[in-house]
Amino acid sequence: MHQRQKPSAPEHRSDLAADGGALSMSHNDSRSLFNFSQLVLSAGQIKPSPALKHSKITYFEVEILDVQSKKQICIVDKVPPASTLLDVKHKFHKACPQWYPSRVGLQLERNGPFLKDSINIQSLAVSSIITLYFTDLGQQVGWTTFFLTEYTGPLLIYLLFYIRLSTIYDQVESRKNFRHPVVHLACFCHCLHYIRHLLETLFVHKFSEGHTPLKNMIKGCVFYWGFTSWIAYYINHPRYTPPSFGHRQVSYAALAFLMCEAGNHFINVALAHQTNSGNKTCFPSPTYNPFTWLFLLVSCPNYTYEAGSWISFTVMTQTLPVGIFAFLMVIQMSLWAKKKHKLYLKRFYPEVRRKAAMIPIIF
């Protein structure tokens, strides 16, 4: 019989050590797995790492058609959504250099209004392709240039007549006839009026949309320069007849003229201050300045004061050309005031609904 031999002591110890090591490793793995599971349970559900999202910008294509023939002029491509219509006009100008941005008029519909430069291109998009209609607005000038040219002419023209150039008046008759004081006063008031306009154009008024057709400036210059020549010729003529009621008529009319000029200036400053401060939620209210109290009665007191200036100048000089000019100015300003009053009614209805446009009760 073969007897089973017992392993030797060293071999028996090595087997036990191996078995013990295996048991120890198994026990450690169990504890590690238990600790990891507890950590997972305490931390919550394991969230997968977020996938990297690649930003995708949608560009627009702007198709520009001629408003008359409907023929395609060009396509402005790769227009970002944040672009404005002015950006599109600049790109259009690069493609068609003969049309610079200020003379480009763009419309959504052929008979629709011209779109403002500040409008966002994304607000016009129905699809990735935007169709706009192009109109050539003609040669343009800035509003500052427009008003400086319009007001500088009358200032210089009146002074040419005031000094009585030999090419305009007879020099013998000019030396013989004495100048009435109202002639000098009229020159002072006329120059003051246009100097005020020039200074306000440079330092007070803020113009939006920046341009107007050149033909408008030409028409304005013809009107103001032509009437100034007619007015200055009569007032500075050697045979000019002074006002009927003399010094009293001149004094009262000159005082009214100066008050209207001051009122016009303070109203323009108040309107400019409202625009610059960005406070467009309410209609301008009167301040401690008495000249602004006219806001209580009318919505366009600057036109009221402007009309008052020319009516006072008519009474002071008592000449027909000034009277005709004042009459036309009152009509024109009443039309402007009526148009502006309608805009005020839409924006500031509670404050403006009981006010007149320019002259209380009448307009």
pLDDT in tens, 288-321: 999 999 999 999 999 999 999 999 999 999 999 9
In a domain, 42, yes or no: no
Secondary structure, 3-state, 233-269? HHHCCCCCCCCCCHHHHHHHHHHHHHHHHHHHHHHHH
- Full residue range of the structural domain in which residue 282 is found: 243-362
- Looking at 222, 241, 260, the residue that finishes a domain is 241
pLDDT in tens, 230-247: 999 999 999 999 999 999
pLDDT in tens, 28-48: 555 555 555 554 445 545 444
What pTM was estimated for this model as a whole?
A: 0.78
Q: What is the pLDDT of residue 35?
A: 56
CATH number at residue 65: 3.10.20.90
**207 lies in the same domain as 118:** no
Q: What is the mean pLDDT of residues 104-123?
A: 92
- Looking at 197, 212, 241, the residue that finishes a domain is 241
Is-contact 121 60, C-beta < 8 A?
yes
H or E, element range at 287: none
- Looking at 171, 206, 241, the residue that finishes a domain is 241
**247 lies in the same domain as 354:** yes
**220 lies in the same domain as 115:** no
For all residues of the chain together, what is the average pLDDT?
85
pLDDT in tens, 264-277: 999 999 998 876 55
Q: What is the pLDDT of residue 129?
A: 92
**112 lies in the same domain as 190:** no
In a domain, 36, yes or no: no
**235 lies in the same domain as 301:** no
CA-closest candidate to residue 103, choices 148, 145, 63, 142: 142
Cα 73 from Cα 63, distance rounded (Å): 8
**194 lies in the same domain as 120:** no
- Into how many domains does the chain fold? 3
DSSP string computed for 288-317? SSGGGGGGGTBS-HHHHHHHHHHHHHHHHH
320-347 helix and 301-317 helix, angle to the nearest 10 degrees: 170
pLDDT at 130 over 70: yes
Cα 74 from Cα 84, distance rounded (Å): 18
Q: Which residues contact 239 (CB under 8 A, 6 or more apart)?
A: 173, 177
